[in-house]
Chains A and B, each alone.
Chain A
Amino acid sequence: MDLTHNTPTQGDKLTQRYDVLIELGDCHATVGDTSAAKECYEQAADLEPDRAEPYVGLGVVSLQNEDVANAEIAFKVAIRLESRCAKAWCGLGMACQVKKDFAAAQENYLRSLDIDPDNLTALLGLFQSSCQMGSFARVIFYLEAYLEMHPGDTAVMFCLATLYMKDGALLKSQKLLRDVLVLAPENADAANLLEEVENKLSQAVNSGAGTNV
């Protein structure tokens, strides 16, 4: 009878102020205004003390400020509040990577990707830490899964091609790099890597060795 007294639907309506603060914090963090970002995340945390996102934001800001210890604390708080927060695990991975604890970094990135295989930051972090550690099997799995979801992402295709090459899968690497160059003919890194892969392939053929394609 009365549109002016309609009952609110619960959900997105009631987190509007919190959402604005988080989004504003993210924008400030993106442009490097870490103190403004921190203020926004702190206000958001006051408003919704049980949500993980503000602490993830605070962790990212601490990382930007090279304050790894506080970043780790913030990400751990976020994980305590929400154990399946992929961004928090990813952030913790980044903190570990900065500390050059690549094993822990890899573990945290993997936990992040288990929750959200679509998390590109975790994926690239996993790639970097795996390169440092020389273990590629699990990162290849996640990169392949990511490409299934985002075919044509040349940055990830390039990473995967690099790992294929390091893992000795030269034909797979060659095919992927050719695909990258079809999509991005000006990609010099891909062109250089393709040249390197094809050199290795010809050496392998000349030496009579097979590849583990």
Chain B
Amino acid sequence: MSSCTLDNPGPLVSVMMPTFNRRRYLPVAIASVLAQTYRNIEVFVINDGGEDISDIVASFDDPRIKLINRRENRGKAASLNEAIARSEGKYVAYLDDDDIWYPNHVSTLVAALENDSEGVAYSDLYKSYCRVKEDGTRTVVAKKVEVSRDFDRFLMMHMNHVLHVSLMHRRDLFEKTGLYNETLNVMIDWDMTRRLAFFCDFKHVYDITGEFYAPVSECDRISVQRRKDRGDYLRNVLTIRTSRPAKPWSRVKDLGIIFVPSRVDEAAAAALRNIWMWTCHPCMVYLPWTPRELALLNTDMPNLRRVTVPEGATFLQRVDAAAAACEADYITIVPSGLEIGQMWLEKSLWPLMNTFDPRLAFELDSSTEAAWSAVMTPEHLRAARAAGPEMGLRDGLKAAGISCRKPRIDEMPFRFDDAYNEGRRADANGDWLGAAQSYQYAAGSFGNRLWMDTLTAEAMRKAGKVSAAIEFALRANQRRPTVDSLRTEALGRKASGDCQSAIGLLEKARDILEGKHTIWT
């Protein structure tokens, strides 16, 4: 465990606080950073072309604060990049101008990182629902830990499950990931966590180390407002999904998609668009096309590799040419007519990534007799082609002794999410025991134990199973109490006649809601 003492101040942590026109909340956010028990920090407050905040910064009179005053508003990514360029810390952490850290935030994450060979850690945060008066005063009405998900790289390629405000990572990782993408105007946090996932596992620390605010009514957050433009939002999503940091990637295996349409026409163009739209795993699309066909290609789609083949090249010759150029760890060959939609590839890619059988490939879910397609390793493909140069791929795999089948349900990805969502549905329908069963199945089979125990406890309580509710809530509270788990245990204790214990638990919950455990408010 790393500790910060006079003799050993611990590694320097660079704190990034971009801000834009939030004078009302900025002082509390800054105060929460300066109140960290871990003292060895440098705090970059970056005014991104908003109203003057120099008086606020000066009022703290703390040499650890470095104000960057930008004249024009160029966005959060540019603000962060400027501060990162000036920073000297071993680690980087982030705080938005209207959120707060608890005093244990930096110390908790530094301790996690100093004891870990990876370079990224994140904690849990309260989402603090509040009513906002006209003068900006906030009244907290609920504090929920809504996201407490263990790191899942495959999921990270689809969506973000790590809050930026809860993230700390080694600064030198920027050399691998690159800096923040200034062409994005939303989800720059997901873009960065996704890129970090190419190189590191993330350590999930269950402690709650801060809170981010969510107004009950219309949210004024820039990121929320910008999401309303669906076209722009989609552009950002696709930009992020197709982002590929420079190789080598230590944690992600690359995917090559060899697209061999029977003819280059509108249908082929649509298929190409669908590949771009629906593939979440990092990939490169190989186009083994003739010069005439390539000349028809008019697209700015990223991650396309043109592989020129001679006029009259057959399907298999095209596959061979693309495979020779392909540097990926997994390959799929897409013929004309294959249906490409959500999860079209990942349902088969995931089992291939997880199988211990080196002689097993997976047919795609939408593969048919007329449009057969599978995902395999380059070794599989080489063996299939060597088994019979004139054989079709399916026969070639068979001749090479490689099994190829569609994945079973239990082999598909996101099984945790399936079980969790089943629990949520049961919960919403009042089937509390069914919900509890689903949450426990999710935890037992796929992890996220603490989160699932908290939900199970409340479902058990609603089902009238008081002792089970107390048991699950107690287990959660011993590890990491939240307002919800404290309340669930309290209601269980009250129902079993132990009002004094219930009072103790509810008073703790009330103190958290009132912010009494934070020292700067």
Query: Could you list which residues of chain A lie within 8 angstroms of chain B, going by C-beta atoms?
Result: 1-6, 8, 13-21, 23-24, 26-28, 30-31, 47
Q: Is the CB of A27 within 8 A of B483?
A: no
A79 CB to nearest B CB, Å? 25
Residues of chain B from 128 to 164 with CB closer than 8 A to chain A in the complex: 129, 139-144, 146-147, 149, 158-164
DSSP class of A's interface residues: helix, strand, loop or mixed? helix
- A14 surroundings in chain B (CB, below 8 A): 129, 141-142, 216
Q: Is the CB of A27 within 8 A of B502?
A: yes
- Cα distance, A91 to B142, chains bound together (Å): 29
- Cα distance, A8 to B147, chains bound together (Å): 12
Our pick among B187, B190, B214, B506 for the contact of A20 (Cβ within 8 Å) is: B506
- B144 surroundings in chain A (CB, below 8 A): 13, 16
- A6 surroundings in chain B (CB, below 8 A): 146-147
Stretch at the interface among B372-380, B470-478, B484-492: B484-492
- A4 surroundings in chain B (CB, below 8 A): 147, 160-164, 189-190
Q: List 13 A-B contacts (CB under 8 A).
A: A1-B160, A3-B159, A13-B144, A14-B129, A16-B129, A16-B141, A16-B487, A17-B513, A20-B483, A23-B487, A23-B490, A23-B502, A24-B507
Q: Is the CB of A47 within 8 A of B141?
A: yes
- Cα distance, A20 to B223, chains bound together (Å): 32
Our pick among B139, B214, B500 for the contact of A47 (Cβ within 8 Å) is: B139
Q: Is the CB of A16 within 8 A of B142?
A: yes
- B187 surroundings in chain A (CB, below 8 A): 1-2
Our pick among B142, B147, B237 for the contact of A3 (Cβ within 8 Å) is: B147
Pick from B147, B494, B499 the residue with the most CB of A within 10 Å: B499
Query: Could you list which residues of chain B lie within 8 angstroms of chain A, going by C-beta atoms?
Result: 127, 129, 139-144, 146-147, 149, 158-164, 187, 189-190, 214, 216, 223-224, 227, 237, 483-484, 487, 490-491, 494, 499-500, 502-503, 506-507, 509-510, 513
Q: Is the CB of B499 within 8 A of A30?
A: yes
- A5 surroundings in chain B (CB, below 8 A): 223-224, 227
Q: Is the CB of A28 within 8 A of B223?
A: no
A124 CB to nearest B CB, Å? 19
- A8 surroundings in chain B (CB, below 8 A): 127, 129, 146, 214
Q: Is the CB of B160 within 8 A of A23?
A: no
Which A residue's beta carbon lies closest to that of B240?
Answer: A1
Pick from B147, B491, B494, B510 the residue with the most CB of A within 10 Å: B510
Which B residue's beta carbon lies closest to that of A18?
Answer: B141
B148 CB to nearest A CB, Å? 11
Q: Is the CB of A16 within 8 A of B513?
A: yes
B444 CB to nearest A CB, Å? 22
Q: Is the CB of B491 within 8 A of A23?
A: yes
Pick from A13, A19, A28, A31 the residue with the most CB of B within 10 Å: A13
Contacts A1-B187, A4-B161, A8-B214; A16 near B483 (Cβ below 8 A): yes
A40 CB to nearest B CB, Å? 8
- Cα distance, A20 to B162, chains bound together (Å): 28
- B503 surroundings in chain A (CB, below 8 A): 24, 27-28, 31
A74 CB to nearest B CB, Å? 22
4 further contact pairs, Cβ within 8 A, besides A2-B190, A16-B487, A23-B506: A1-B160, A2-B160, A8-B214, A18-B141
Q: Is the CB of A15 within 8 A of B142?
A: yes
- Cα distance, A8 to B142, chains bound together (Å): 11
Which B residue's beta carbon lies closest to that of A17?
Answer: B513
Contacts A3-B160, A4-B162; A17 near B141 (Cβ below 8 A): yes
- Cα distance, A19 to B141, chains bound together (Å): 10
Contacts A4-B162, A16-B513; A23 near B190 (Cβ below 8 A): no
A209 CB to nearest B CB, Å? 47
A158 CB to nearest B CB, Å? 22
